Amino acid sequence: MKRVIKYFLLTSSWFFIHIILLLRRPTDCLEQLLLADSGSELFDIISLLGYAILAFLMTIIAGALVNRTYNFSITRKRKRLLICLVIVLAFSPATISYLKNEINGFPKELKLRTEICSKIKPVKYLAYGTAAKNLQIEEYREIAELTGFPELPSSSINISYLYTYDGFLPDFVFELEYRVPLTVEVDTFSKENGGYSSSQTFEVKEGFKIVSYNESNS
């Protein structure tokens, strides 16, 4: 019982440090705009609880390894607990994510996302939604990574979109328009299946193909 309490206290310490690392992450306006009504907060809470359970199991395993490896060289419980904590934190999802953001230059990504946020406007043709105009391909890819929007050719310019959805019902409307050089092949299609429909067309204008993609469910 004492060992379980010890591991529980150690896991609580991990949980507290995990929260600190999450709070240290810079505020991301893009996630707030695009995911505010998508249930991501609940997902974060569930993930955090899952990580806590994982940390508890990792602590038990780490404690067993430390007791077996250092049974004769380390006799003080505080030292064993400290080693357990270091092992758990070293493989913590929060630690790995935090270090990854730092190594990849998250502040630079944050600056790009802040510029994107200035182009995004809320729309509520249905309950929720956003729209943006004149996006560059790098900006659109940041948005698509969070929302699952279709991939576009790297040569796409002047990208505009509108996405609005109900939030409770599966109803949504997605409109996308962009320009590509004349040499880029563009498929045209029109599909319908019950209340779902999608289509793609293009027209040649001002030396570009202007592509229009539409998708909806009602």
pLDDT per residue over 90-120, tens digit each?
555 555 555 555 555 555 567 788 889 999 9
User: Do residues 131 and 120 lie in contact, with contact meaning Cβ atoms separated by under 8 Å?
Assistant: yes
- CA 198, chain centre distance (Å): 26
User: Do residues 51 and 94 lie in contact, with contact meaning Cβ atoms separated by under 8 Å?
Assistant: yes
HEC profile of 54-97: HHHHHHHHHHHHHHHHCCCCCCCHHHHHHHHHHHHHHCCHHHHH
pLDDT tens digits, 157-171: 999 999 999 878 889
- Is 113 part of a structural domain of the chain? no
Tokens 């974060």 belong to 44
> Quick one: 7 and 64 in the same domain?
yes
Alpha-carbon distance of 207 to 21, in angstroms, equals: 50
> Quick one: 64 and 92 in the same domain?
yes
> Quick one: 75 and 37 in the same domain?
yes
> Quick one: 90 and 184 in the same domain?
no
Q: Which residues neighbour 116 within 8 Å (Cβ) at sequence distance 6 or greater?
A: 30, 132, 135, 139, 142, 143
Where a domain ends, among 53, 76, 107? 107
Tokens 């939604």 belong to 129
Where a domain ends, among 81, 107, 133? 107
| pLDDT at position 29 | 77
Alpha-carbon distance of 43 to 23, in angstroms, equals: 16
Please check the confidence at residue 183 and state whether its pLDDT lies above 80.
yes
Q: Which residues neighbour 126 within 8 Å (Cβ) at sequence distance 6 or greater?
A: 164, 165, 166, 167, 171, 172, 173
Instruction: Give the H or E element holding residue 162.
Output: strand 157-165
Instruction: Give the H or E element holding residue 102.
Output: helix 93-103
> Quick one: 19 and 45 in the same domain?
yes
Nearest to 78 by CA among 94, 66, 93, 69: 66
> Quick one: 153 and 81 in the same domain?
no
> Quick one: 211 and 123 in the same domain?
yes
Summary mean pLDDT of the chain: 76
Range of the domain at 69: 2-107
- Is 188 part of a structural domain of the chain? yes
Can you read off the two tokens belonging to residue 118?
Answer: 């200035």
> Quick one: 129 and 172 in the same domain?
yes
> Quick one: 140 and 103 in the same domain?
no
Mean pLDDT of 136-162: 94
pLDDT range class, residue 72, cuts 50, 70, 90: very low
Mean pLDDT of 63-88: 57
Can you read off the two tokens belonging to residue 106?
Answer: 């998250």
> Quick one: 88 and 167 in the same domain?
no
> Quick one: 136 and 94 in the same domain?
no
Task: Indicate the number of domains in the chain.
Answer: 2
- Is 112 part of a structural domain of the chain? no
Can you read off the two tokens belonging to residue 157?
Answer: 């310019």
